[in-house]
Copies of this chain bind each other. A is one copy, B any other.
Amino acid sequence: MNNGRFPISLHILTLLASAEGELLASDYIAGSININPVLVRKEISNLRNHGLIESKEGKNGGSTLARSADKIRLSEVYHAVQQASLLGNSKNQPNPDCNVGKQINQHLDHLYQEIEGALLHKLEKMSLADFLRQFQ
């Protein structure tokens, strides 16, 4: 994925982590990221579906982390926003009459999985708290 959603989601989570349990409104978050509030709500909705965020509707509502920042791995953020594969979706429809074309998607998928494994390994070792700690 070369996904603009990863930085957005991480930004949201970082703000929530730094707010220490206080509910933040989507408009406030959108103001920090400088994007449209509806996009923020969509990402929040997605992060909530993945169990990373809890929200409260209505007046004085907003969102907060579902668990403490040291219990949220960056690999979870990756999984939450990931849709396509890492290096490019092998969505070409190669010629089945060609020996290479016939097999390449399967081998590409295998390659992507290996690489994604290495990436996830890295992200698993980092928590949201680790990320936040870099901020002064």
For residue A38, CB closer than 8 A to chain B, the reply is no
Complex CA–CA separation, A93 to B32 (angstroms): 9
Give the contact-size bracket for chain A: 35 or more
Within 8 A of B (CB), among A1-21: 1-8, 10-11, 14-15, 18
A95 within 8 A of B: yes
CB-CB under 8 A for A93 and B34, given A108-B7, A114-B122, A135-B103: yes
The 7 A-B residue pairs whose C-beta atoms are closest, nearest first, are A2-B2, A32-B98, A6-B88, A32-B101, A118-B122, A3-B88, A6-B87
Q: Identify the A interface with B (CB < 8 A).
A: 1-8, 10-11, 14-15, 18, 31-35, 74, 78, 84-95, 98-101, 103-104, 107-108, 110-111, 114-115, 118-119, 121-123, 126, 131, 134-136
Known pairs A74-B111, A118-B122 / 5 extra A-B pairs, C-beta < 8 Å? A3-B87, A3-B88, A4-B91, A7-B89, A99-B135
